[in-house]
Amino acid sequence: MAIQYVAAGGEAGLFNLLGKLQKAVALLDNTRADVFDDLADELHEEYETTPGLQEVLAAITPVAYAWKTGLPGNKRFLVGHVGNLLAHFITVLEGYHSRDIDFLFDLLEDRMTLDSESVLENGMTLGTPSYGRESGTKNTDPDHGDNSCVGNFTLLRTSSSGKGHWDDYTNEYIFTQALRVVCTSGVNEGADDGDQSFEVVGQEPPAAGVYAGEDTDDVKLWQRQGTVGSLTMLGDNSGNILDNGGFEDWTADEPDDWDVDAGTGGTDFEENTDDEYRGDSCLEIDCDTDNGAKVVTLSQTIADSVEAERTYVLCVRMKKGAGMNDADSVIIKPQGTGYTPDAAETISKTGATLTTSYVLYHCFFNTPEQIPADFEIEIETSTVGTGLELFIDELCLMEVSKLRGLGLVVVAGDDEAYADDMVTMTVTNDYAGKFQTFVGRFFNRSLVSDSSGNNTINENLCD
């Protein structure tokens, strides 16, 4: 048997009925409960001396008040039918008899993935991060740290490149609101080097009993989500999947845990203890003019350290020396037999785009459905024949945390994070997906979704 997603052949469709419920709730949303209050105030002001008007107002007030206070209950009543629909369309098919709403959504999402069905996704954008401190900070040093928050909105859907996806949809999309990433455990509170923790916090949700259709400070109360999740700082000392990504350990002119596929240690590359970004040393690639055109390649296998169909971030600090030409190049990328990353899934720079000061570079990539046995991270540099001078430090790899459709990584800077260090930004959700918004709002869940034109379940079922 298959789920009847859309009505056909006289059979009712799950999303036809969900669409009707969504429309009914939307109509109640658009019926403002304060309209009667405004109208009553105007009537009292304009006609308070008009004979008979007070009796009319007295007669209609109880009815209007009952209608006003009944809106939230009516919405809850309508939303309550969603569990019945899911149970009817799914549990018999799957051989389960459950009313647990999370369990039912789990089944629905598994089946939608299996059947390649999707609703329209919500588009999200992230505003420019602003660095500062939480009010009432415990940190008194005004010049500590430059920790960078690398943010990427990756919606919970199959990637358009077909290389992978976050393989569950249990996290809701984040709604439009101000977002804070706050250090909750810094070095000033005893946290170890590179091991600071952060909390991702949205606007606080409404108190119990507050009418959830009101606007408060231009933000709907149901959009407020409170604590979204937590993060651990990514650095060579914390969270890094790569071994010796800070190039601190060397043996016989070669960095420990790295395979030398091209080039010669001590001649084409070496340990540098004067130009490191963090720690005590870094990797210096220095092919002088006597070597002519040269390729240097280092790699590290990660096949046993990553999971299939997941999203990872690869980041590194790099700077060039005076001996690097504009046409010299470096590329850092995941690779393996049968797998080729997209250009956006690599870190590719030339002498023309690098600077003489360290800069944080990063890319996000999706692992394939099957991890190749030789899956690795590769560093490859090449010169045009007149020399190359490049410094690499803090090369890190981490799986991206799934925070309600938002991927965030806090990357270690050259100083430590202090408690109450904070990054603020605005998250904007376009609410384009009516089914997606409805499910996220009332059930803290997300459906399998895709971009406009690629979704299989039409939004017009909500009209």
Higher-pLDDT residue of 125, 156 = 125
According to the model, what pLDDT value does residue 382 have? Answer: 84
> Does 153 have pLDDT greater than 50?
no
Q: What is the pLDDT of residue 149?
A: 47
Window from 12-16, 19-23, 284-288, 296-300 with minimum mean pLDDT: 284-288
The stretch 305-328 carries a mean pLDDT of 90
> Rounded to 10 degrees, what is the CA torsion of 42, 45, 47, 49?
160
For residue range 175-220, list pLDDT tens digits in order: 888 888 888 877 666 666 666 788 888 877 665 544 444 444 445 6
Average pLDDT, the chain: 79
pLDDT tens track for 337-372? 999 999 989 999 999 999 999 999 999 898 988 999
d(CA 456, CA 452): 9
Residue 290's pLDDT is 52
Domains of the chain: 14-117 (no CATH), 122-449 (2.60.120.260)
CB 148 within 8 A of CB 360: yes
* Residue 456 pLDDT greater than 50, yes or no: yes
Instruction: Give the residue-averaged pLDDT of 228-242.
Output: 83
Percent of the chain with pLDDT strictly greater than 90: 30
- Residue 91 DSSP label: I
pLDDT of residue 366: 87
Asked if pLDDT for residue 140 goes beyond 60, the answer is no
pLDDT at 44: 65
Confidence of residue 96 (pLDDT cuts 50, 70, 90): low
